[in-house]
Amino acid sequence: MVYQNEKAIYIRIAERICDDILSGHYAEGSRVPSVREIAAAYEVNPNTAMRAVEILQRDEVVYQQRGIGVFVAEGARRKILAARKEDFLRHDIPEFLRRLQLLGMGIEEVVRAWEQNQEVNKDLKK
């Protein structure tokens, strides 16, 4: 797995679980791995895994049923999408536009690349 080095491991683990929720790997109401399972899967200390779960609970993405496990909360996918879109618009887009300007590129080139990517993805799905 490729990680962004500037983020703490427990944050990256929480983000990965959110990615799995967005991709449909974990549906709302379904069980996610336990703290011990996360620790084993990511080869981290259980305290690190617990911090990841605590972040997800704080953000109301998951909830814990004592003795049963951790489950994806109702509306979790919607909350994750909203947060990710906000972050994208606030951080990624300004940096992207700055880089376009530095490279002397116009939006037309981006649109062409987007369209080509869409065609490639269509072909891969066939």
Confidence check: pLDDT of 119 > 50: yes
Identity (one letter) of the amino acid at 38? Answer: I
69 and 96 share one domain: no
Domains identified in the chain, total number: 2
Global pTM exceeds 0.85: no
111 and 67 share one domain: no
CA dist., res. 79 & res. 8, Å (int)? 22
Torsion of CA 50, 56, 5, 103, to 10 degrees: 180
Confidence check: pLDDT of 3 > 90: no
Q: Residues 55, 11: contact at Cβ < 8 Å? A: yes
**Mean pLDDT, to the nearest integer, of 16-24?**
97
Confidence check: pLDDT of 66 > 50: yes
66 and 18 share one domain: yes
CA dist., res. 115 & res. 94, Å (int)? 22
64 and 18 share one domain: yes
Q: Is residue 83 part of a domain?
A: no
The pLDDT of residue 1: 44
